[in-house]
């Protein structure tokens, strides 16, 4: 016995409406086609499921046993298919994003807000993380998408470059550098430099040693978060360097940001996902949205100012 889904749907429609005419209309088929499906079902089962009369049908004993089972199966299947349709048509879904704390103060919320304007039914959850925790959250499955700086390749991760941007110098209003038409890495070494702990500063110092041996960059203070560094700069305790995506926060602290030259050091940021794992339709749609969104932001920045240079 192997009744088809179409046969079961025809039987349930007939049992619910009580006559062939109404059941055929519900199934969007002709009455003869519906009758044929019922006959096929009965042949498959080897038993009658309905007794026919000129006005209404009556379920047989076997029909009465099968009706609640078939009805529940079809309702469950229809519910599951509707749920899939809601996901694929972006009427529901969850996107979990991991990104560094500074990015979660600036670029990521702006991107999420712009995305939600087009897809209000998608639940987007942001995990502000230490830089080194971003890829770990993706690998563990805690986050669907990671956005972070370039790291050594990991076979279990797929990485797509999102943007590359140069370092900028951040200093308070009234600072001597405010009068300079341009700022260089040599200028950074002349003032107390507030750096970030960990790989951010280690990689920066390595780049400096490789590209500009005559410049000495010795941090006067190392902190865990760029927000702390910016607060210290605002208090007149030194200067710092960051990437242009942080400009909204720089403006909030009423600080100046200038591109650093000689040399022009850059950092690349990537979107990380688990290799060999399909993303949900919602996560796929967010990534498809994010790349042109960032490109558009960078295009605006090139014409209006230093943001996302």
The CATH code of the domain that includes 35 is 1.10.10.10
Residue 222 in domain: yes
Which runs of consecutive H residues, i.e. helices, occur in 18-60?
20-27, 31-45
pLDDT at 188: 84
Per-residue pLDDT tens over the stretch 267-306: 899 999 999 999 999 999 999 999 999 999 876 544 444 4
Six token digits for residue 196: 């970030």
> Measured between alpha carbons, how far is 35 from 33 in angstroms, rounded to an integer?
5
Q: Is residue 309 part of a domain?
A: no
The crossing angle, in degrees rounded to 10, of helices 281-304 and 107-118 is 120
**What CATH number corresponds to the domain at position 127?**
3.40.190.10
Same domain assignment for residues 154 and 272: yes
Residues 188 and 240 in one domain: yes
Host H or E run for residue 221: strand 219-223
Give the pTM: 0.77
Domain of residue 243, residue span: 168-264
Separation in Å, CA 35 to CA 45, 46, 255: 15, 16, 79
Q: List pLDDT tens digits, range 249-263.
A: 999 999 999 998 877
For residue 144, count CB atoms less than 10 angstroms from its CB and return exposed for 0-12, middle for 13-18, buried for 19 or more: buried
DSSP lists the bridge partners of residue 171 as 256
29-54 confidence digits (pLDDT tens): 999 999 999 999 999 999 999 998 75
């Amino acid at each position: 016995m192997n009744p088809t889904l179409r046969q079961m749907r025809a039987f349930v429609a007939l049992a619910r409406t009580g006559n062939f005419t109404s059941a055929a209309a519900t199934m969007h088929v002709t009455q003869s086609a519906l009758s044929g499906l019922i006959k096929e079902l009965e042949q498959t089962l080897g038993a009658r499921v309905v007794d026919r009369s000129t006005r209404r049908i009556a379920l047989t004993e076997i029909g009465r046993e099968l009706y609640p089972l078939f009805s529940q199966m079809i309702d469950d299947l229809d519910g599951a298919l509707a749920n899939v349709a809601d996901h694929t048509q972006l009427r529901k879904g969850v996107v979990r994003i991991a990104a560094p704390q500074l990015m979660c103060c600036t670029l990521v919320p702006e991107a999420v807000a712009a995305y939600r304007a087009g897809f209000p039914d998608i639940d987007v959850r942001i995990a502000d993380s230490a830089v080194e925790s971003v890829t770990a959250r993706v690998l563990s499955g805690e986050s669907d998408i990671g956005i972070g700086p370039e790291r050594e390749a990991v076979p279990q991760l797929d990485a797509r470059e999102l943007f590359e941007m140069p370092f900028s110098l951040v200093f308070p209003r009234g600072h001597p550098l405010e009068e300079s038409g341009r700022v260089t890495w040599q200028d950074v070494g002349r003032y107390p430099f507030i750096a970030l702990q960990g790989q951010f500063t280690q990689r920066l110092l390595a780049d400096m040693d490789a590209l500009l041996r005559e410049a000495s960059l010795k941090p006067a203070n190392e902190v865990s978060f760029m927000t702390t560094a910016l607060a210290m700069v605002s208090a007149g305790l030194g200067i710092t360097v960051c990437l242009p995506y942080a400009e909204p926060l720089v403006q909030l602290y009423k600080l100046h940001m200038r591109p650093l030259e000689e040399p022009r050091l850059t950092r690349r940021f990537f979107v990380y996902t688990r290799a060999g794992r399909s993303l949900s339709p919602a996560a796929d749609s967010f990534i498809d949205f994010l790349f042109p969104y960032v490109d558009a932001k960078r295009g605006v920045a090139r014409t209006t100012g230093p943001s996302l240079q």
